[in-house]
Structure 1
Amino acid sequence: MVEPWVIRQWMYRGGFVLICTIALFFCILPLEVGAGRWPGPDLMLAFAFAWVLRRPAYVPMVLVGLIFLIGDFIFMRPPGLWAALCVIAVEFLRGREGMSRDMPFLIEWATVSALLLGLAVVYRICLGISIVDHTSFGLVILQQISTLLVYPIVVLISTFLMGVTKITAAEAEQIGYAR
């Protein structure tokens, strides 16, 4: 018989795919009216960061890579570049999950903000080196700021509405994830 935590883990993985699919759907809707709008947040990245810091098993590396690669194709970005950077960032956070169990939210938020800024800078450098046409750096920073501002809301939704809470030491030991 399958353990209940395995079933729950696969249900949350499916939920993560559903959340990212909905976010992609709303991003491609033609809702932009006029120029000079504030760019929207990257909800897929915010949910990936929030979930990997709470329950790393819910957001496996392959799933993150596939979802962000699909996003690269949909948004016509260089295929694999943003996906690879997001996988690296998620794996960086996954490696710090053990330390982040007792971390206050403000420190978590500061870590995520530094990572978002780092992602934006490295992405722009890679685009510049390969001489790929890209948007202005100001728009990229505004999108990262909007992602950073929406991150606490994503954490609240994940924690209180979806039940993605931080893993306890006892749970980590029970499923063999203690680090």
Structure 2
Amino acid sequence: MMDSGLLQLWGMRALFVLLALLILFFHLLPLDPAPSRWAGPDVLVAMVFAWAVRRPDYVPILLVAATLLLADMMLQRPPGLWSVLVVCAAEWLKSRERRQRETTFVLEWLTFAGTLIVITILYRAVMMILILAPGTLTLSLVQVLMTIAVYPLVVGVSYFLFGVRRAAPGDVDRLGRTQ
């Protein structure tokens, strides 16, 4: 018989993949044939970071890497560059999970914003070093600001709709892992 905690863990991982695919689907819909003057938020990155901070066991490194590599391919970005930066940032946020557990949401939001700004700067720097067109600075800035602004909504939806809550200090299973 399967452990209910293990079943919930794999169910949440499957939910993460389904939500990522849904985000990619809506991102790829041809709603307006004209080029946009502004860039929308990167909801997928906001979701990865929110889940990594709140429940790191729901987003293992290989799952995040595969999902973001698929997003790179589908969105025609340089394959692997944005994925590597987001995976590294998510792992850094996961390593801070115990310290983040006792902090307020505002501090979590500021940590998210700083991390997103750093990986965006690194992404643009690597693109320029490789002599690839990174896009206009204005669009990147708008996307970063929109992603930072949408983060509380992503956290709220994750919390209230999907039950992605921070683990309490005593929440461990019989093997000693955070539930």
| TM superposition score normalised by structure 1 | 0.94
Which deviations, in whole Å up to 9, do the C-alpha atoms of 1:16-72 show, x marking residues without a partner? 001100100111111235445321111111111111111110001000000110111
Q: Which amino acid aligns with 1:21?
A: L
- Separation (CA, whole Å) in 1 of partners of 2:102 and 2:120: 28
Q: CA RMSD in A?
A: 1.4
Matches within 5 A, 1:19-168: 19-32=19-32, 34-168=34-168
The aligned length equals 178
Q: Is the 8 A contact 1:49 1:90 kept in 2?
A: yes
- Separation (CA, whole Å) in 1 of partners of 2:49 and 2:174: 24
**SS of 2:172 mapped into structure 1:** helix
Q: Which moved more, 1:27-36 or 1:107-116?
A: 27-36
Deviation at 1:174, TM superposition (A): 4.7
| TM superposition score normalised by structure 2 | 0.94
**SS of 2:133 mapped into structure 1:** coil
**SS of 1:141 mapped into structure 2:** helix
Q: Identity rate of aligned residues, in percent?
A: 38
- Separation (CA, whole Å) in 2 of partners of 1:142 and 1:174: 46
Deviation at 1:134, TM superposition (A): 2.2
- Separation (CA, whole Å) in 2 of partners of 1:64 and 1:144: 20
**SS of 1:45 mapped into structure 2:** helix
**SS of 1:62 mapped into structure 2:** helix
**SS of 2:128 mapped into structure 1:** helix
Question: Which stretches in structure 2 are left out of the alignment for 5+ residues?
Answer: none
Deviation at 1:133, TM superposition (A): 1.9
**SS of 1:133 mapped into structure 2:** coil
- Separation (CA, whole Å) in 2 of partners of 1:107 and 1:139: 26
